[in-house]
Structure 1
Amino acid sequence: MKNYLWNMFANIKNGQLAKRSFIYQKRKNICEAFLKVMWDEGFILGYSIDSINTNQIKIFLKYKNGKPVINNIKTLSKPSKRIYWSINQIWKIDSSKVFIIFSTNHGLKSIIDCKRLKIGGEPFIIIN
């Protein structure tokens, strides 16, 4: 299941290195949930379901002054080694320097939402 996520993160990273305005990704619910969080936080311009092939998502990449908004995407929790952070561990992280997306029992949440709702979870990715 998670291979779709790792492929999507690699496609986004490679698309921004190649200065593409958009990329295509296979449509999965978990990928759409991650794209919604990334769009809410301003890391991508948006995404839409392709009108010709409804099994693909068109992701619009965002640039600022010719440079990609996403400098680095790093995965934390992997299928072979899962990690979970409590709310106490999350509070120790400076959320102004890094952006982390967590999988919680309330769905996918950003680090800011986890602090506001006082919930922990599994950290998936760090975006710089």
Structure 2
Amino acid sequence: MMTDPISDLLTRIRNGALARHDRVEMPHSKLKEQVGRVLKSEGYVDDVRVSEGEGPRTLTIVLRYGRDKSSAFDGVRRVSTPGRRVYVRHDRIPRVRSGLGVSILSTSHGVMTDKDARRQKVGGELLCEVW
């Protein structure tokens, strides 16, 4: 039984990037898919696919690398955990690495970046930070 699927997602992406894998696969959930789509829109991963076959659905994330085979991100950190939820208002959303990184929030308007949440003036649960 998995207690924190977002941490599992971030750990699989981090470990896959460190091992220079082309893609990582994991069990599917709507929240993980939405976080993956935000990472894709911000340019940290190349593609997010959901397998539609028999049995349980799987989420495949295609990792992005630079010309020198360096990962598209330098670090990732889980902020809100099942044992310690972190909620922020739109005017209290922290900047990641002086604006060079991105925070991912789960809001009433869906999963979005810190910039989108500030623009829409909506707060929510601070899921993770990527830089």
Q: Runs ≥4 in structure 1, deviation > 4 angstroms?
A: 51-54
Measure, in 1, the Cα distance between the counterparts of 2:121 and 2:3: 26
Give CA deviations for 1:12-59 in whole Å, capped at 9, x if unaligned.
000000000111111111111111111111110002123656611221
- Cα pair distance change 1:86/1:2, threshold 3 Å: farther
Alignment correspondent of 1:79:
82
SS at match of 1:115: helix
1:48 and 1:17 map into 2 onto residues whose CA distance is: 21
Question: Could you say what secondary structure the match of 2:111 adopts?
Answer: strand
The letter of the residue matching 1:35 is: G
Equivalent-residue separation in structure 1 for 2:95 and 2:20 (angstroms): 31
Does residue 30 (structure 1) correspond to residue 26 (structure 2)? The answer is no
Of 64, 67, 79, which residue of structure 1 is paired with 2:66?
64
What are the Cα deviations for residues 66-110 of structure 1, in whole angstroms up to 9, with x where unaligned? 1001211101111111111112212x6366222000111111110
Size of the alignment, in residue pairs? Answer: 127
Work out whether residues 50 and 59 of structure 2, in 8 Å CA contact, stay in contact via their aligned partners in 1. yes
Percent identity between matched residues is 24
Question: Shift in Å at residue 62 of structure 1?
Answer: 0.3
| TM-score calculated relative to the size of structure 2 | 0.87
Which stretches in structure 2 are left out of the alignment for 5+ residues? Answer: none
- Tell me the secondary structure at the aligned position of residue 63 of structure 1: coil
The one-letter code matched in structure 2 to 1:116 is R
**106-115 or 46-55, larger mean C-alpha shift:** 46-55
The yes-or-no answer on 1:123 pairing with 2:126 is yes
Partner AA of 1:55 in structure 2: R
In structure 2, distance between residues paired with 1:24 and 1:117: 32
Secondary structure in 1 matching 2:103: strand
